Structure 1
Amino acid sequence: MSAGEKRVLRVALFGTESTGKSSLAEKLAGHFGEPWSREYVREFWDEHGATIRGGDLDAIARGQVAGEDAAAAQAKRVVFHDTELLTNVLWADLLFPGECPAWVRTEAEARSRRMDVYLLCAADVPFAEDPQRVFRDDVERQRSAALWRRTLEERGLRFVEISGGWAEREARAIAAVAELLAK
């Protein structure tokens, strides 16, 4: 970054599955007129026949990073990330224990420090069925939501909880981003 060039702010949508992260990322991008990066693993899933193995974690992480960086390069003030690499690590540990490449862990930690705020989406909205989803039971869903929260807290990462109905979530997220941009 050259002198006088303003750094683009990064906002990560974070939380367990089926909490509205994708919809919220798209809405925030539209509201603020800025780009957003999609959750790459969904694209990978569709391209590879709905099967993911531990050996795919490297490619998934590289795709996630490329998408985040491409969106950030297009941003003027802020970029929104529908998930990010720290989430890839959480899923790798849950689904493929011991198979997450070391570089992914290291990069996830470094990139998490560059996020200006995490919007932690609470698991207090109805579960939406999707073949990619794992935590269909409410007990498991709340346990995974607690893991995502603990991940932010243990690292001391800045986050704003996004909860309530869909309109309330959107308003809270917009307010959090507006506050970030006003600094």
Structure 2
Amino acid sequence: MEIDTVLERFRINRNLPYGRYRLSAVFEGIEDSPPMSRLLQENSNLRLDSVEVEITEGVLYMRVDAEGRLLINREYLRNGDEKHIYLDLIHELTHLKQLREGRDIYSPEYSYAERPTELEAYANAVSEARRIGMSDREIYEYLKVEWISKVELDKLAERLGVNRRFSEYFKHRRS
């Protein structure tokens, strides 16, 4: 499959009101993503047609809750960068797989940037970011989130093999 093909077929239903939906009602084409194929092969308990999505104001971007529901901020869904949403979806579906395997995806034993489940989820997203042609600068921008410090961000980038020399250029995350 060509690099661009997955993103060309990836569709976001950006105008849904608050509420609960099946994943396929919100996103089309994610099943064609190479990381999704791997996740589905690795865990027979993960079925995309069973993923419940809740569009809400209760999160900044998107995350998986303790019950395995994918929570997505409505404004992020409506206005977020398509590549960032695509990568976040891969990241969060990795967490859903981990949760269904019985892993603690929110273990307080580790800081956010050192938590094994976060590193695995980010590794999947970064690998896909590289596959679709994103530069280290773009990936570094993608990794930047409000809840980690610059020191943690740089540590995360280093662990994921993302060049940190761009770190001074980024003051804000996804707009």
- TM-score normalized with structure 1 length: 0.30
When the two structures are superposed, what TM-score results if normalisation uses the length of structure 2? Answer: 0.31
- Which structure would you say has the larger RCO, counting Cα contacts within 8 Å and 6 or more residues apart? 1
